[in-house]
Amino acid sequence: MRGMAYFCFLSATIYALAGMAMGIFMAASHDHSLLTVHAHLNLVGWVSMAIYGLFYHGVPTVAATRLARTHVAVATTGLWIFIPGIALAVLDITEGPAILGSLLTILGMLLFTVRVATARLKPA
């Protein structure tokens, strides 16, 4: 595995580790106020990035496209803004980063949808 698929899988494992560490910290401190941050980090970070990696590994010609690179860049940027943004919103500091990050995250999924829909897949 290399290229886009490797980047997605490596990122996914880092997000999973961060999400697990956060879950352990919340359990140990008995403070679950950031539960939504933990859940979104695991779902959007770990699960979505791993699925992107699986797709790009299975269809390497698609992974080599500009649209795929744009998709992963937007999805990654969205996640990096979205996760701390949720924390800031939950803590009643500001909702701006959560809004921006969520818009970038959904744009990333839209780009992935376009990438999947326009992929020329060979029948098995």
> What is the value of pTM for the model shown?
0.90
Percent of the chain beyond pLDDT 90? 91
Half-sphere exposure of 4 (CA within 13 A, CB side): 26
Amino acid letter, 64: A
Long-range CB contacts (within 8 A, 24+) of 101-105: 102/78, 103/78, 104/74, 104/75, 104/77, 104/78, 105/44, 105/75, 105/78, 105/79
pLDDT for position 1:
67
d(CA 80, CA 72): 12
d(CA 88, CA 40): 14
pLDDT in tens, 50-109: 999 999 999 999 999 999 999 999 999 999 999 999 999 999 999 999 999 999 999 999
Tokens of 117: 């829909």
Residue-range domain boundaries for the chain = 3-117
CB contact set of 97 (below 8 Å; sequence gap of 6+): 81, 82, 84, 85, 88, 89
Other CB atoms closer than 10 Å to residue 96's CB: what's the count? 12
